[in-house]
Structure 1
Amino acid sequence: MRLGLGCVIMMERDLEMRPVQGVLWMLASGLSFVGVNALVRWLGTDLPAAQSAFLRFAFGVVFLIPTILPVLRAGFAPGALPLFLGRGVAHTAAVIFWFYAMARLPVAEVTAIGYLNPILVTLGAALLFGERLGLRRMLAVAVAILGAVIVLRPGLRDLSLAHLSQVCAASGFAASYLFAKRLSGLASAGAIVAMLSLCVTLGLLPFALLNWQPVTLVQLGALAVVALCATTGHYCMSRAFAVAPMAVTQPVTFLQLVWATLLGLLVFGEGIDGFVLLGGAIIITAISANTWREARLRRRADEVAAAL
């Protein structure tokens, strides 16, 4: 009887998983983030990175006011506020670095280097949370780092401050995700997103005021659309994870590099760099293989638990 009930539960879970919908949601997410990249690249260096980032997040806060106010009224669980603040600091630094790099590097190159985020999260989780870093995980990390070396090609070309800035951005975003993982047991997903927007906006404000430049209505409009695209991208990604396993949706993220390459070629006249495509493909392959394997292990564990 218990075995039969376990089988029914597993069948219901399988029915709930809709891989085609997950892929479509992830495609929409990727297109939304390509829109973010296109607009920030188009804005260029006319505005300081911190100011552009502040305006983008300020618009995001406006969009999220209906969520932020109830979170502030409800208060925080013990220990949550320092984690919110720590995440805000890490994400603020990462955003400044990313805006600086995005305005100066080819779109595809920024996208490829950004694929390092999950690998850095894996390493951080092992160092900070004691998660097991087995042989296959270590191999995936090593392969992904090889892909990053192919993208950057140190020693074969001069690396600019923008390249280093994007590596710092990837590291900062990874730290932000680790804070979010710790917060997931203390606050709701809505509260975590709302507090991130509020903390990053406040964190960016002093840096933006240090070198504030006049802003045109066109620039304000573009940054408002950036905020809308970013919010849409995160929403679509959440929907993708809700309806399909990450083993299905993760490989789709490689298309973001393809679209970024086409965007750079057709809109900004950037050449196609085969090393960037190769390195990006290696990184996402390593991530996808590791995600697929861990999904199989979780599925086996669920089947065993259901059979007991």
Structure 2
Amino acid sequence: MLNIPPFVIASALVLLAELCFAGVSALVKHTSAQLPFEHLVFFRNLFALLVLLPWLYRKRATAFRTEQFGLHILRAVFGIAAMYLFFLVIATIPLAQATLVLLLAPFLIPIISYFWLKEHIRPRLFATIALGFVGAFVFLNPAQQALHPMVGVAFIAAIFAAWTKTMIRKLSATESPSKIVFYFSFFASVLSFFPLLIRWQPIPLSAWLGILGIGLFAVIGQLAMTRAFSIAPPSQVGVFTYSSVIFAALLGYLFWGEAITSYMVAGFVIILSAGYLTLKR
């Protein structure tokens, strides 16, 4: 049997999760032309919850047992706030720029982990994070093209996203990945139900396929990310969430004809270098 280091497994799971999240972003962008994003946020969480029903049936009462009830609620509040902001950004600007929020969160995760989880952060990790930031800057190329004001909203969403990803590490000490995803999906569904009532409108049949895809990709991504952060600290594997913008750029090019420039390619190489240096640390 192959003896694969936990760090490598966790990194691969983060890449899988980010590919799924890029798929969610693409489906949100497509479906938001037909529905308000309040609908998409609610059904994204509801269908993720429905996917977990077989697990809930097997576990029965034990599925609800938790020593971290308050932290589950707090993660849902931060997560749903990030989701609303991010979905709004996706519907407004190009997919690769919108995915900037996923590139900002890793810069904040080590800082949160250091102060909250008391994790030791090596100086070299900060250097790779700085290199990833340079890659993101080159990728977006703000010197040549003005950034949309919605990028500022992405900054705010990144703060919430970083907290939710760090909370996974805290929760995984006592909770299984399925339980973490279940509680998030449950509380997020409840929190997003009331905005749905305010903005409710009939859902066309053509939009249901996109809604189903959003829920399916979301739950796979959450399970992969939760498992990754239970194997390795977020301060170590969070750098691989940079890959999300690459996946988003490819999807934007394939389905919306959004240009992939030489600056994007250069930024991609720099971001990959940051990930490689983290792997070789």
Given candidates 207, 218, 222, the residue that maps to 1:219 is 207
Conserved in 1, the CA contact under 8 Å of 2:114 and 2:120? yes
Secondary structure of the equivalent of 2:121?
coil
Q: Report deviation, 1:62.
A: 1.1
Structure with greater Cα Rg:
1
Q: Distance in 2 between matches of 1:291 and 1:123?
A: 19
Matched, 1:195 2:153: no
Distance apart, 1:50 and its partner CA: 2.5
Deviation at 1:58, TM superposition (A): 0.9
Q: Which amino acid is 1:76 matched to?
A: R
- Secondary structure at the counterpart of residue 256 of structure 2: coil
Amino-acid identity (%): 27
Mapped pair 1:116 → 2:104: yes
Assess, with a 3 A threshold, how the Cα gap between structure 1 residues 170 and 71 changes in structure 2: closer, same or farther. Answer: farther
Range with bigger deviation, 219-228 or 141-150 = 141-150
Q: Residue 261 and residue 41 in structure 1: after superposition, are their counterparts in 2 closer, same or farther (change >3 A)?
A: same
Q: 1:96-149 CA distances to partner (integer Å, 9 max, x unpaired)?
A: 112112222222223354133333211210122222333212222322333333
Task: Assess if the C-alpha contact under 8 Å between 1:44 and 1:103 holds in 2.
Answer: yes
RMSD of the TM alignment (CA)?
A: 3.6
In 1, are the aligned partners of 2:100 and 2:154 still within 8 Å (CA)? no
Among 168, 177, 193, the residue aligned to 1:180:
168
- 1:42 to 2:30 alignment: yes
Q: How does 1:76-91 map to 2 (within 5 A)?
A: 76-78=65-67, 80-91=68-79
Partners of 1:261 and 1:34 lie apart in 2 by 9
Contact 1:108–1:257 at 8 Å: present in 2 too?
yes
Is residue 120 of structure 2 the alignment partner of residue 132 of structure 1?
A: yes
- State the SS of the aligned residue for 1:103: helix
Check whether the contact 2:168–2:230 (CA below 8 A) recurs between aligned residues: no
Is residue 251–residue 284 contact of structure 1 (8 Å, CA) maintained in 2?
no
Query: What's 1:170 paired with?
Result: 158
Report the Cα distance in structure 2 between the residues aligned to 1:25 and 1:124, rounded to whole angstroms: 21
Unaligned runs of 5+ in 1: 1-11, 294-308
Relative distance call for 1:86 and 1:216 in structure 2 (3 A) is same
Question: 2: CA distance between counterparts of 1:44 and 1:280?
Answer: 28
Structure 1 residue identity aligned to 2:53: I
Does the 8 Å contact 1:118/1:287 carry over to 2? no
Name 1:16's counterpart in structure 2: 3
Of 130-139 and 271-280, the range deviating more from structure 2: 271-280
Distance 2:239 2:126 in 1: 19
- Aligned partner of 1:17: which letter? I
Moved more, 65-74 or 36-45: 65-74
Cα distance in 1 for partners of 2:157, 2:188 equals: 14
- Per-residue deviation, 1:287: 4.0
Residue 147 of structure 2 is matched in structure 1 by 159
Conserved 8 A contact 1:26-1:253? yes
Q: Structure 1: how far apart are the matches of 2:121 and 2:231?
A: 28
Say if 1:53 and 1:96, in contact at 8 Å, map to a contact too.
yes
Go from structure 1 to structure 2 and tell me whether the alpha carbon gap of 1:203 and 1:279 turns closer, same or farther (over 3 Å shift). Answer: farther
| Matched position secondary structure for 1:159 | coil
TM-score by length of 1: 0.74
**Whole-Å separation in 2 of the counterparts to 1:133 and 1:218:** 48
Tell me, yes or no, if the aligned pair for 1:102 and 1:110 is still in contact at 8 Å: yes
Give, in whole Å, the separation in 2 of the partners of 1:96 and 1:169: 8
Cα pair distance change 1:275/1:210, threshold 3 Å:
farther
Cα 1:171/1:148, change in 2 over 3 Å: farther
Of 211, 221, 232, 2:220 maps to 232
The alpha-carbon deviation at position 253 of structure 1 amounts to 6.7
Shift of 1:178: 1.4
Structure 2 residue ranges without an equivalent (≥5): none
Pick which of 189-198 and 102-111 moved more: 102-111
Paired residue secondary structure (2:52): helix
* Displacement of 1:82: 0.7
| Aligned partner of 1:271 among 259, 273, 277 | 259
Taking the aligned partners of 1:77 and 1:233, their CA distance within structure 2 comes to 22
1:76 and 1:238 map into 2 onto residues whose CA distance is: 18
| Counterpart for residue 131 of structure 2 | 143
Give the aligned partner of residue 301 of structure 1.
Answer: none
The whole-number CA distance in structure 2 between the counterparts of 1:241 and 1:177 is 8
